[in-house]
Amino acid sequence: MNRNDLRRVDMNLLVIFEALMFEKNLTRVAEKLFMGQPAVSAALGRLRDLFDDPLLLRNGRGMEPTARALAILRELQPAMDVISGAVSRAKEFDPATSCDVFRIGLSDDAEFGLFPPLLRQLQEEAPGIVVVVRRANYLLMPTLLASGEISVGVSYTTDLPANAKRKKLRDIPCKVLRGDNRPGPLTLDEYCERPHAMVSFSGDLSGNIDVDLAKVGRSRRVVLGVPQFSGLRALLAGTEMIATVPDYAACALVEGCALRAEDPPFPIDAAQLSMAWSGVHDNDPAEKWLRSRISQFMSVTLDIPAV
């Protein structure tokens, strides 16, 4: 196909093709692209004609890409990234007049403890923008970035897509949350004897805290796992349960209530909170503005109010 033939190719079809390869579901693609499902189905038919391949085949209740579809995706994605980046860089960005939609991935601790002041700043500088937050963690971040469902994410991160970039925002020191009224800090023995609540996105009941406890020859008893930090305020109040959480989540949780936070009675290796973004957005003026505000408001050290 020469450049003249490209005029017959609808670029919208290629955007739909990419979404289909990641979602493998017509309804989810329709929701993601704000289209009707019949329109997505019709687009899939046109894509099958264009590439002379079924592209997606039924597999039980789901759909799976064909080998040729995956090969096409590998070739198309870098080209689409380049086109998207070139178009983005060609337009100026004025926060005061922008109506852009920003899609951010946040871990629950970052959303609960660090996002509110960031959002206030974004809304003050750019009152016309729309911010969409997706729940992200180190497991979800690579897929969300690779599929374009988010342009930037904040979380503890490990593996990332090859074209992604990463910047450390801050260390994640931990605090022990407690809702009892006994004076004095917890000893190591008391910490290990108390029942523990744990925030776990995946439902696991052990984590890095247990690794650090094992280093000093101790263990804890987790009796409650919850999916998000916001529930801890009511769950810990007036009980013997304790929870070990990032310092910025502790700061938000103790505000205006009877919970208090203290340093753990053993050393904990601080993880890192990082910002990761797709390389295709690296020089996008709007995304650079967003990342600068994330760096400014999510890198800060917070003072935990005394109780």
Query: Which residues on adjacent β-strands are paired with residue 278?
Result: 164
- What's residue 201's pLDDT? 79
- What's residue 211's pLDDT? 94
Which of 188, 174, 299, 182 is CA-nearest to residue 249?
Answer: 174
Residue indicated by tokens 């970052």: 110
Alpha helix ranges (H) inside 107-200: 108-113, 115-125, 141-147, 188-193
Mean pLDDT of residues grouped by 10 in the chain (307 residues)? 63 86 87 86 89 87 87 84 67 88 94 94 96 91 88 90 88 94 93 95 84 95 92 92 95 88 94 91 91 92 55
What is the SS3 assignment for 166? Answer: strand
Which of 38, 201, 18 is CA-nearest to residue 109?
Answer: 201
Residues 148, 18: Cα–Cα separation, whole Å? 9
- What's residue 307's pLDDT? 45
Instruction: Give the other-Cβ count within 10 Å of 235's Cβ.
Output: 14
CA distances from 202 to 140, 211, 228 (A): 11, 18, 11
Q: 302 phi and psi, to 5 degrees? A: -100, 140
Beta strand pairing status for 130-135 and 101-106? parallel
- What's residue 219's pLDDT? 95
Beta strand pairing status for 152-155 and 101-106? parallel
Question: Taking the model in full, what pTM does it have?
Answer: 0.71
